[in-house]
Amino acid sequence: MTTPAYSGLGPALTYVHERPLEPGTLVRVPLGQREVLGLVWEAPGLSLEGLEPGQARAVLQVFDAIPPLDAAWRGLASFAARYYQRSLGEVALAALPPQLRDLQAEQLARKLKRLAKAAGSSTKGGHQPDAANSNAGAPAAESAADNSAPPELSPEQAVALQRFQADDRPALLFGTTGSGKTEVYLRAVQELLEQDPQAQALVMVPEINLTPQLEARFRERFARWGVVALHSGLTPAQRLDHWLLAHQGRARILLGTRMAIFASLPQLRLIVVDEEHDPSYKSQEGARYSARDLAIYRAKRESEGRSPGHCRVLLGSATPSLESWRAAEIGRYLKLEMPQRIGGGALPRLRLVNMNHQPKQCVLAPALLESIAERAARGEQSMILLNRRGYAPVLACHACGWKSDCPHCSAHAVFHKIDRTLRCHHCGHSARVPYACPDCGNLDIAPVGRGTEQLEEQIAGLLADARRADGGPIRVLRLDADSTRAKGSLEQQLAGMHEGEFDVLVGTQMIAKGHDFRRITLVASVNADGGLFASDYRAPERLFALLLQAAGRAGRDASFVASQGTAVELWVQTWYPEHPLFAALAQHDYPAFAAQQLQEREEALMPPYSFQALVRAEARTQEAAQALLNLAAQAGEALPGREHLTLYPAVPMAIQRVANIERAQMLIESDSRPALQAFLAAWQEQLQLARSRPEAKGVLRWAIDVDPQAI
């Protein structure tokens, strides 16, 4: 049975059972005074000879009601644990539905009977069962007709699909926003499932808010196949039901976020990774895995011992990650290109607003404000992007210099005007807004900076005298993590936007990707400069992707734009209009931007031309956190692969203190991935030993992040 690293029990524990158990079988076993879920694993050469009677405890229950997790799934878990420097138990058990860990074998058997009964009734009634109130379940009657006929493919879509089917390599679908990438995904899934009556497909999206939209499209198209979702927005019961349906092969299509890469799909033949560039595919806690990279490995693992290309991977993006772009450039991936929008719609024209020439303290440039009002009067919509939620990043007293700092973090508490609170977005601390400065008593404390709450309020005020097409006042909608917290609120607000109830959409990056708004003809970014000069070398790549993805929300309905006679535009307010990033953005020229960035990366020997790992330590004091990392670095001088590595000194993290815990990090670079992996595997012991040194007293935990996405 596998165990997590922090348990201190070693990589696996030995139990006995009256009969041999197949690897991958789920069991319940005693651990101390508790009963826990375990997973039977291969144990080559294991012998029970020499064990005293009773020394190895007995397995309590065997989950015979479901098939064992297959060799391909176990291979994926083993690789992820090995590559991302975590224990096998942490990866394998964390990949299972949480509710499964609490069930007895007989409880699981009853749940499976209920699912089977629901599937049977759906077959008789001609509709899918409502698995755990989730509107997802087993397939309905195979003879049921699909709800809608697929649209005719454009020539570019047809060529991309044909080339994908004819080549075994992982494919990168580089298609401009609005070029119809989703339809290519749908057709690839459809052709697979029609050819193989057992095949399963996994379709991944970066964020939960995109899952319901994609799920609706798949359900509309594939009424006769089981479609289930897997993401953190589901209840524990829903996650378990969906996992079981996929594991049993009853669900042929699984949609999900990054956690779905570990779903058990015994007949997996296709993996689609939409918006493959998105940082959300990289986990930032536990095993810090990249779901995109694991998709490539999983497809290769599923194809071992079978025909080439038995399981295929299709990565899609209008702004691919530089790692994937280079892999396609050198031929390791198949590059599929779709540069034209469906229906011949034009891409937005860039209009840079030089803020050096605008009135002081202006929120939106007068010309931009006028354009938004004109479009609303014609029945068009506008979208304003500000990637900062709350009303203001900080409250400040200009008399004494007091700022609304979080008492537990080295960060400011954000001012939320709606409920008059100061909230830390790092530790969750919340406090009421003081009536006066806590330090000097000054009543004139004021917000500094701007968040989406304030922008919504200011735009509504600036457009108070403008009118929409029906003569009513202009309506502004805000979409961010705060406004969509209530269950169902995101879907409801998006529906209002699609139906034309709102004229201006204000939001964070959650509005910039994946949404198919038909009436938006103007997109504006009001604070893009932060990504131009950030310390993280990936910041320009992320900014370019965000702006291009946001621009793609405009002009998606070519017939609507033509009937309006409107110019589709992307406005960017900036203090640095001469920055070279904007030259590539004006041409929607991702290849040119990627070439420039890759040249800089190659000259600096940065990824993808080198390989990195970050080691992070958390402790009661900053000195202890840094001491752990520096002591371990000194002890690792003779370890395998060290000659190919550069270990930088430990430094505080950008947000140094979170929830009263000090944080430090050390960057490791190498020109050899095998050398980096060999060093990290051997270095774990040195980190553990360094923790016992007096200088590192107070260290709470440490973690290795392989291929970090943020430094």
User: Annotated binding residue at 362?
Assistant: no
**Would the annotation count 400 as a binding residue?**
yes
Largest alpha-carbon pair distance within the chain? Answer: 88
List residues bridging with 416 in a β-sheet.
421
Nearest alpha-carbon partner for 89 in 24, 39, 30, 32: 39
CA–CA dist 86, 683 (Å, integer): 13
For 485-495, b where at least 16 C-beta lie within 10 A, e where not — what string? eeeeebeebbe
Q: Is 311 annotated as a binding residue?
A: no
Does 406 belong to an annotated binding site?
Answer: yes
Type of residue numbered 212 = P
> How would you classify the pairing of strands 569-574 and 520-525?
parallel
The vertex-141 CA angle with 136 and 142, nearest 5°, equals 110
Residue listed under structure tokens 């400040």: 396
Separation CA 567–CA 587 (nearest Å): 16
| Residue 565: count of CB within 10 angstroms of its CB | 7
Judged by DSSP in three states, 227 sits in strand
How far, in Å, CA of 496 to CA of 473, rounded? Answer: 16
Q: Could you tell me the two tokens for 615? A: 């080691």
Give the HSE-up count for residue 171: Cα atoms under 13 Å, Cβ half-sphere: 28
Residue 512 CA: distances (Å) to CA of 375, 384, 398 = 20, 10, 35
What are the φ/ψ torsions at residue 523 (nearest 5 degrees)?
A: -125, 135
* Of residues 192, 554, 159, the one with CA closest to residue 351: 554
Q: Which three-class secondary structure state does DSSP give residue 352? A: strand
Query: What's the CA gap between 74 and 95, in Å, rounded?
Result: 11
Take residue 689 and report the two structure tokens written for it: 């030993």
Give the number of other Cβ atoms within 10 Å of residue 594's Cβ: 21
Strands (DSSP E) found in 520-650? 520-525, 569-574, 611-619, 645-647
C-alpha–C-alpha distance, residues 594 and 587, integer Å: 13
Q: Which of 506, 593, 608, 591 is nearest to 544 (CA)?
A: 593
CB 375 within 8 A of CB 555: no
DSSP secondary structure letters along 256-277: ESGGGGGS--TTEEEEEEETTT
Closest CA to 704 of 6, 85, 280: 85
3-class state of residue 511 by DSSP? helix
Count the Cβ atoms, other than its own, within 10 Å of residue 166. 9
Please list, in sequence order, all residues whose beta carbon lies within 8 angstroms of the beta carbon of residue 414, skipping any fewer than 6 positions away. Answer: 389, 390, 391, 392, 393, 394, 422, 423, 424, 425, 451
Token pair for 499: 């139906």
**Number of residues assigned to the chain:** 711
Q: Rounded to an integer, what distance in angstroms lies between the CA atom of residue 508 and that of residue 386?
A: 5
Read off the tokens for 311: 């399981």
409 belongs to an annotated ligand binding site:
yes
CA 609-615-620 angle, 5° bins: 155
**Residues making up the binding site for Zn(2+):** 397, 400, 406, 409, 424, 427, 437, 440
**Residues making up the binding site:** 397, 400, 406, 409, 424, 427, 437, 440
